[in-house]
Amino acid sequence: MSLLLEPFELGFMRTALVAALCVSACCATVGVYVVLRRMAFIGDALAHTMLPGVVVAYLGGVSLLLGAALAGVGTALGIGWLSRRDALREDTAIGVVFTALFAVGVLFMSTVRSFRDLSSILFGNVLGVSESDLLAIGVVATMAMLFAIVFHKELELTSFDPNHARVIGLRPERVRYALLIVLSFTIVAGVQAVGVLLTSALLITPAAAASLLTDRLSRMMLLSVAIAGLSSLVGLYASYYAGVAPGAAIVVTCTCLFGCAWVLRWMRSTRVGRTSAFPSGR
Amino acid sequence: MPAARFPYQTCATCRDAAGGDVPAIEIDDLCVAYSDGPELDAVRGLRLRVPAGTHVAVVGPNGSGKSTLLKAIAGAIPAHHGTILVHGQPVAACLHRISYLAQRSEIDWRFPVDVTGLVKTGRYVHLGWFARPGRDDDRRVHAALDRVGMAALARRQIGQLSGGQQQRALLARALVQDADVFLLDEPLNAVDGETRERVGEVLRDLRRAGKTVLIATHDVGRLEGDYDAALFLSDGRVVPAPHEAFGGAEAAMVTAAAG
């Protein structure tokens, strides 16, 4: 028991835990829609395009979170604009925009002598989250969860039947833009915890694992949040006791849980296959 | 029924505006096409007048413009040219009077929602932003599922249904919208006998209730007897009936002409 509690006697570990849990909760919730709407690529792209925003903010001495948020929202709107009316296919537009912005970010980075602060952007630094960062993460997490709850029925309908949404006057493009903006902020929070390079894992992997285990949307969200939260906890223990990078430890734990979900599903499908010729409707 | 407090699209006048003589659908010189796609499935200069309470079959081969016509009336795609009036109002003015049943292929059937959830989305037009479906909505959903013979499958995920069952779930959703005009896109395409029967029953119900129905099909053989008139489309234009199944009497009910 003391082994479990010991790490969190330290103030920075407590802050890290709260931050990681907040990030897990909002990433995992929004991530369910990202997975169901096949937006995994755009999620990854948004995380990468934070880089120039962050570097510019660092050079200008303003809040890194603000820089990241602006870059993210800008990318979301830019991709939507480039792929409007099908001038370019969306995945092509994403490919062009995100690599360009990431390259610009790296260019800026190479003008900075010390990489130490910026490496935490690439790999995350959940152990170094300040109080103001924690506040920002808390606000983002609350906002993202509220968005998912309040607009649940619109998000759901535009995900599986955008045509019906359109004929009842609910414009699916607007819902999509709103989701992209919330996604940008969520990713900003995720970058704090696991960094630019691994944030999409926190978005996709828990949601994907949950989607293997249930075909109810609400259950999928709860499971996804539980999986991400558990990964954060285990990841922090690993970093405390084994001295490994916490961001990477969180993502690796997440992936292990995804593997468990895969095995569970496989076991369930073989059992159902043996007992009845038809899959149960439940 | 109380109106939505925060409707997706406001409509001020429609319920009371419909007078006795106003046709359910009035289309003049309509041109519609997808902005980028091939010219296939476009509508070119179409005129149509459908009196309230009539059932009209829209017949034509694939790509003849049937779906495009129904989508334009439903407001899913904008008209390039011409006017569409539904009960005397422009298309976007009163969306909740129209119930549109899309082709099955336009829905993501793998999405984690059950049959009840799918049918419930038919109530959203009356709920608008923020409101949640209530007891009255549940009751209507249940009644509609009963009507199409899907009550036993209410909790099943939509991807685990057969094609005919999916079609009946969509029909139930069209019913709970409580609309006056029904636009049904190929509801009889590749479905089982029970579904055909149920769709037939629902159509008879709708006729008794005085609802207007436009039903797209390429299956001309099964039309006889069930409809007041048929509109034959080819390449986006209205063409004369290709065989003698439909006499001159029906043509009087629906007046249509190539523009």
pLDDT digits (tens, 9 = 90+) for B14-40: 655 555 678 889 999 898 886 555 556
Higher-pLDDT residue of A84, B177: B177
Q: What percent of chain B has a predicted confidence (pLDDT) above 70?
A: 83
A142 occurs within a structural domain: yes
Out of B9, B107, B132, whose CB is closest to A161?
B107
Residue of A nearest to B93 (CA): A169
Q: What is the enclosing helix (H) or strand (E) of A184?
A: helix A172-194
Q: CA-to-CA distance for B141 and B116, rounded, in angstroms?
A: 7
Residues of B in contact with A168 (CB under 8 A): 8-9, 95-96, 124-125
Q: CA-to-CA distance for B118 and A172, rounded, in angstroms?
A: 17
Q: CA-to-CA distance for B215 and B212, rounded, in angstroms?
A: 10
Q: CA-to-CA distance for A206 and B173, rounded, in angstroms?
A: 32
CB-based contact B121 A157, cutoff 8 Å? yes
B14 occurs within a structural domain: no
What is the ipTM score, two decimals?
A: 0.87
- The Cα of A88 is separated from the nearest Cα of chain B by a number of Å equal to 12
CB-based contact B106 A282, cutoff 8 Å? no
B145 occurs within a structural domain: yes
Which stretch, A55-64, A265-274, B142-151, has highest mean pLDDT? B142-151
Q: What local confidence, expressed as pLDDT, does residue B40 receive?
A: 65
CB-based contact B156 A282, cutoff 8 Å? yes
Out of A85, A163, A167, whose CB is closest to B35?
A85
CB-based contact B112 A36, cutoff 8 Å? yes
Tally of structural domains, chain A? 1
Tally of structural domains, chain B? 1
Out of B74, B108, B111, whose CB is closest to A167?
B74
Average pLDDT, integer, range B164-186:
94
B168 occurs within a structural domain: yes
Q: What local confidence, expressed as pLDDT, does residue A115 receive?
A: 62
B58 occurs within a structural domain: yes
B1 occurs within a structural domain: no
Out of A36, A150, A167, whose CB is closest to B100?
A167
Residue B258 has pLDDT above 60, yes or no: no
> What mean pLDDT is reported for chain B?
84
Q: Is B47 on the interface with A (CB under 8 A)?
A: no
Task: Using pLDDT thresholds of 50, 70 and 90, give the confidence band for residue B214.
Answer: very high
Q: Is B14 on the interface with A (CB under 8 A)?
A: no
Domain extent for A96: 11-196
A187 occurs within a structural domain: yes
Residue B210: CATH number of its domain? 3.40.50.300
Residue of A nearest to B101 (CA): A164
CB-based contact B9 A169, cutoff 8 Å? yes
Q: What local confidence, expressed as pLDDT, does residue A33 receive?
A: 95
Give the model confidence (pLDDT) of A200-254 as tens digits: 899 999 999 999 999 999 999 999 999 999 999 999 999 999 989 898 999 999 9
Residue B252 has pLDDT above 50, yes or no: no
Higher-pLDDT residue of A89, A116: A89
Higher-pLDDT residue of A173, A154: A154
Q: Which of B125, B108, B112 is nearest to B175 (CA)?
A: B125
A246 occurs within a structural domain: no
End-to-end CA distance of chain B: 40
Residue B147 has pLDDT above 80, yes or no: yes
Which stretch, A144-148, A272-276, B17-21, B193-197, has highest mean pLDDT? A144-148
Note which residues in 71-100 of chain A have CB less than 8 A from chain B: 85-86
A204 occurs within a structural domain: no
A202 occurs within a structural domain: no
CB-based contact A85 B121, cutoff 8 Å? no
Average pLDDT, integer, range A100-125:
78
CB-based contact A159 B108, cutoff 8 Å? yes
B235 occurs within a structural domain: yes
Q: Is B114 on the interface with A (CB under 8 A)?
A: yes
Residue of B nearest to A166 (CA): B76
DSSP B256: E
List helix spans (H) across chain A.
Answer: 2-5, 11-36, 40-60, 64-82, 90-111, 116-123, 131-150, 152-160, 162-167, 172-194, 199-213, 217-242, 246-275
A44 occurs within a structural domain: yes
Residue A48: CATH number of its domain? 1.10.3470.10
Residue B178 has pLDDT above 80, yes or no: yes
Q: CA-to-CA distance for B147 and B46, rounded, in angstroms?
A: 35
Residue A145 has pLDDT above 50, yes or no: yes
Cβ contacts below 8 Å, chain A against chain B, sum to: 80
A72 occurs within a structural domain: yes
Residue B236 has pLDDT above 60, yes or no: yes
Q: What local confidence, expressed as pLDDT, does residue B13 receive?
A: 61
Give the model confidence (pLDDT) of B41-56 as tens digits: 788 888 899 999 999 9
A225 occurs within a structural domain: no
Out of A157, A163, A170, whose CB is closest to B106?
A163
CB-based contact B96 A36, cutoff 8 Å? no
Average pLDDT, integer, range A64-86:
79
Q: CA-to-CA distance for A70 and B18, rounded, in angstroms?
A: 49
CB-based contact A150 B130, cutoff 8 Å? yes
Domain extent for B194: 21-258
Residues of A in contact with B121 (CB under 8 A): 153, 156-157, 161, 164
